[in-house]
């Protein structure tokens, strides 16, 4: 869509002259506003008896009469805008001329809907805008389109409203036109005038019959051998495939694509071509491009191990061994493809909110300022209150009671020359610090194996830590405190049959502030 916009100039002008026929002084007049096709006048007159004040047009025709009371000396009068260049405000035999030649208060905006084509109707959408209280229903808009350089003038008119006015011209010839727009009110009083331009474009055709249209990429619609997709012959001076270059030089580095017979080994990167300088532009010890990249197309790798991957070779503080600053800066400092990870500007837990935006724990997706509070012993909505407004679920998990009796998990089965590992995820609800959950894994060890058991804390209540214990089949014990998601306790075996037997594992909270806190653990042999 071609958009043409202009605004009629608004000039608030008032000049006064006085002829005295006797009596008091002439009225003092100021044009205080012009809006919606009217001129608003602020009139001050001499104090005196009640009388009428007349407003006449430039031809002394009466437009309006306003009364002033005893000792009143000010009044505001609104009169329709006229083509006449002046108004006359008369107080008895005293009067003042007000010049309104340049006064206008209407803005006209012009837009062309779609591309006009030769031989088809051309539609214009005209809109009138001004103050929010104006009502332009019933106004008339006259549009004239005149070819540049003269010629026949085409005109159209119709009713206009504030939401637009459609004008349709039939069969405008290709070329540029000068538009003249006039807005008149229901009394044929000129409200505003505006000029703009209109371009009528040629139709979208395939004149050379090569299957490509001039409006969709054919750079020479008079030659059927020239069109997108044609074979471009090197050195003939003709851009046969309409890619903007003779031959195949898509990156415009002056070297043609090796696949088309040239010697540019990467025709999509202007920095890679024969003779390219292999330099560390910012001196940080890292070259742009991936490991093994051939930047000068000599068939040898120019980027060696340990020097590759500089994503900004103009900034020495940006390279793969750099670190993202703690506060973030909107830049990929370590060239890993992610900006500001681990900072308050990055959503580390993927919950849709960063620390800068109000996430009080960017390592836990359950916690952010837009979250809904649920019973999980966590301050989900970041208001510094845990589980407010939520009923406490005073129920045990499916492993109760097992404070002294273990629950058998998947057994690690012996297989040929080894064993098959196991993986169990258990969800528990700890009533208090005396509530111990116990589990067991039976291992049938093989020869030359190292049997390992791991307890990993997956999810916990806010601030709740767990004491974990693993007892081996021969009395060996491992203990540890799991204080964050991802923390684990591991038990490592030996390379003989001594790892065969039952492993007892237990977890219990050591600082639970709330009753019945849920948690999830991953228990596996590997």
Q: Which of 107, 122, 130, 104 is nearest to 13 (CA)?
A: 104
Q: What are phi and psi of 404, to 5 degrees?
A: -125, -10
Q: pTM of the prediction?
A: 0.41
- Among the residue ranges 23-27, 104-108, 456-460, the one predicted with the least confidence is 104-108
CATH 2.60.40.10 in the chain: give the residue spans.
18-99, 107-200
Task: Tell me: pLDDT of 38 over 50.
Answer: yes
CA distances from 499 to 43, 172, 424, 496, 503 (A): 107, 94, 20, 7, 9
Closest C-alpha among 186, 197, 226, 219 to residue 81: 186
> CA-CA distance, 376 to 431, in Å (whole number)?
13
Pairing state between β 38-44 and 94-99: unpaired
Nearest-angstrom CA–CA distance, 385 and 388: 6
Indicate if the pLDDT at residue 251 is higher than 60.
yes
Say whether pLDDT at 92 is over 70. Answer: yes
Q: Choose among 483, 488, 480, 429: nearest CA to 453.
A: 488
Q: What are phi and psi of 88, to 5 degrees?
A: -120, 125
Task: State pLDDT tens for residues 354-379.
Answer: 888 889 988 888 899 999 998 888 89
Q: Which pLDDT band, with edges at 50, 70 and 90, does 125 fall under?
A: low
Q: Tell me what the mean pLDDT of segment 257-264 comes to.
A: 78
> Quick one: average pLDDT of 175-192?
72
**Quick one: pLDDT at residue 157?**
65
Give just the sign of the alpha carbon dihedral 332, 338, 340, 343.
negative
pLDDT grade for 110, boundaries at 50, 70 and 90: low
Report the alpha-carbon distance of residue 36 to residue 55 in Å, rounded.
19
Predicted pLDDT of residue 5: 31
Distance (Å) of CA 157 to CA 112, 124, 183, 321, 414: 16, 11, 10, 70, 94
Q: Over the stretch 493-526, which tens digit does the pLDDT of each residue have?
A: 655 556 778 899 999 999 866 788 899 999 998 7
341 with 358: CB under 8 angstroms? Answer: no
DSSP string, 393-430: -----TT-S-SSS-EE---BEEETTEEE-EEEEEEEEE
pLDDT score of 165: 58
Spatial separation of the C-alpha atoms in residues 474 and 504, rounded to whole Å: 11
A 10 A CB-CB count for 308 gives 20
For residue 463, what pLDDT is reported?
86
The Cα–Cα gap between 359 and 352 comes to: 9
State residue 21's pLDDT score.
Answer: 36
Each residue of 337-348: pLDDT tens digit? 788 888 888 888
Spatial distance between the Cα atoms of 265 and 286, rounded to a whole number of angstroms = 22
Phi then psi dihedrals of residue 168, to 5 deg: -120, 125
Q: What integer pLDDT is reported at residue 425 of this predicted model?
A: 94
Measure the CA angle with vertex 417, ends 414 and 422; round to 5°.
40
Task: Give the residue range(s) of CATH 2.60.120.380 domains in the chain.
Answer: 407-525
Band of the pLDDT at 122, cuts 50, 70, 90? low
Average pLDDT, the chain: 76
DSSP codes joined into one string, 138-199: TEEEEEEEEETT----EEEEEEEBTTBEEEEESSPPSEEEEEEEEEE-TT--EEEEEEEEEE
Q: Helical H runs in 259-331? A: none
Span 278-334, pLDDT tens digits: 777 788 878 777 767 788 898 888 777 667 777 787 888 888 888 888 888 888 888
Give percent of the chain above pLDDT 90.
Answer: 11
Task: Report, as an integer, the average pLDDT of 26-55.
Answer: 82
- Whether residue 469 has pLDDT greater than 90: yes
* pLDDT given for residue 391 in this prediction: 79
For residues 222 and 93, give the distance between their C-alpha atoms in angstroms, rounded to a whole number.
Answer: 79
Q: 480 falls in which pLDDT band (50, 70, 90)?
A: very high
What is the per-residue pLDDT across 213-237, written as a single tens digit (0 to 9) for each? Answer: 776 778 887 888 888 888 777 656 6
Whether the per-residue pLDDT at 81 is higher than 70: the answer is: no
pLDDT at 438: 94
DSSP 8-state secondary structure symbol assigned to residue 438: E
Which architecture, in CATH terms, is 407-525?
Sandwich (2.60)
Structure tokens at 277: 């300088």
Average pLDDT over residues 396-411: 85
Bigger pLDDT: 263 or 489? 489
H or E element in which residue 20 lies: strand 18-20
What is the CATH architecture assignment of 107-200? Sandwich (2.60)
> Beta-strand (E) ranges in 26-184?
28-35, 38-44, 51-57, 62-68, 74-80, 86-91, 94-99, 107-112, 122-129, 139-147, 154-160, 165-169, 175-184
Q: Which CATH architecture has domain 18-99?
A: Sandwich (2.60)
């Amino acid at each position: 869509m071609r958009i043409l916009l202009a605004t009629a100039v608004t000039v608030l002008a008032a000049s006064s002259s006085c002829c005295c026929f006797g009596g008091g002084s002439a009225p003092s007049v100021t044009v205080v506003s012009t809006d919606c096709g009217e001129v608003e006048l602020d009139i001050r007159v001499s104090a005196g008896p009640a009388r009428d004040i007349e407003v006449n047009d430039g031809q002394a025709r009466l437009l309006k009469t306003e009364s002033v009371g005893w000792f009143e000396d000010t009044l505001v009068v609104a009169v329709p805008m006229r083509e006449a260049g002046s108004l006359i405000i008369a107080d008895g035999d005293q009067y003042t001329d007000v010049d309104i030649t340049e006064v206008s208060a209407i803005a006209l905006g012009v837009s062309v809907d779609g591309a006009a084509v030769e031989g088809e109707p051309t539609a214009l959408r005209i809109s009138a805008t001004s103050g929010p209280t104006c009502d332009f229903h019933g106004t008339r808009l006259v549009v004239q389109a005149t070819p540049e350089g003269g010629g026949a003038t085409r005109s159209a008119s119709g009713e206009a409203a504030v939401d637009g006015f459609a004008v349709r011209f039939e069969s405008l010839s290709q070329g540029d036109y000068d538009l003249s727009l006039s807005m008149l009110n229901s009394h044929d009083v000129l409200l505003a005038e505006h000029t703009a331009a209109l371009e009528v474009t040629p139709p979208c055709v395939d004149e050379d019959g090569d299957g490509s249209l001039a409006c969709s990429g054919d750079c020479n619609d008079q030659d059927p051998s020239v069109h997108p997709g044609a074979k471009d012959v090197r050195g003939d001076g003709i851009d046969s495939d309409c890619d903007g270059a003779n031959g195949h030089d898509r990156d415009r580095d002056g070297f043609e694509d090796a696949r088309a017979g040239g010697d540019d080994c990467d025709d999509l990167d202007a920095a890679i071509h024969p003779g390219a300088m292999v330099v560390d532009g910012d001196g940080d010890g890292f070259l742009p491009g991936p490991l093994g990249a051939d930047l000068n197309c000599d068939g040898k790798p120019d980027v060696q191990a340990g020097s590759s991957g500089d994503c900004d070779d103009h900034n020495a503080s940006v390279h793969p061994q750099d670190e993202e600053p703690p506060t973030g800066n909107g830049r990929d400092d370590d060239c890993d493809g992610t900006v500001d990870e681990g900072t308050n500007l990055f959503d580390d837990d993927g919950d849709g909110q960063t620390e800068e935006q109000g996430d009080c724990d960017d390592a836990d997706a359950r916690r952010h300022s837009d979250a809904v509070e649920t019973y999980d012993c966590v301050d989900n909505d970041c208001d510094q209150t845990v589980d407010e407004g939520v009923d406490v679920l005073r129920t045990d998990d499916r492993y109760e009671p097992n404070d002294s009796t273990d629950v058998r998990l998947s057994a690690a089965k012996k297989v040929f020359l080894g064993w098959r590992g196991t993986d169990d995820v258990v969800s528990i609800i700890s009533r208090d610090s005396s509530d111990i959950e116990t589990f067991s894994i039976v291992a049938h060890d093989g020869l030359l194996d190292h049997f390992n058991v791991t307890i990993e804390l997956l999810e916990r209540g806010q601030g709740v830590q767990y004491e974990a214990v693993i007892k081996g089949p021969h009395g060996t014990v491992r203990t540890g405190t799991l204080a964050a998601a991802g923390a684990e306790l591991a038990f490592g075996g030996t390379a003989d049959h001594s790892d065969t037997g039952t492993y007892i594992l237990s977890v219990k909270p050591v600082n639970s502030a709330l009753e019945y806190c849920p948690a999830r653990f991953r228990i596996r042999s590997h």
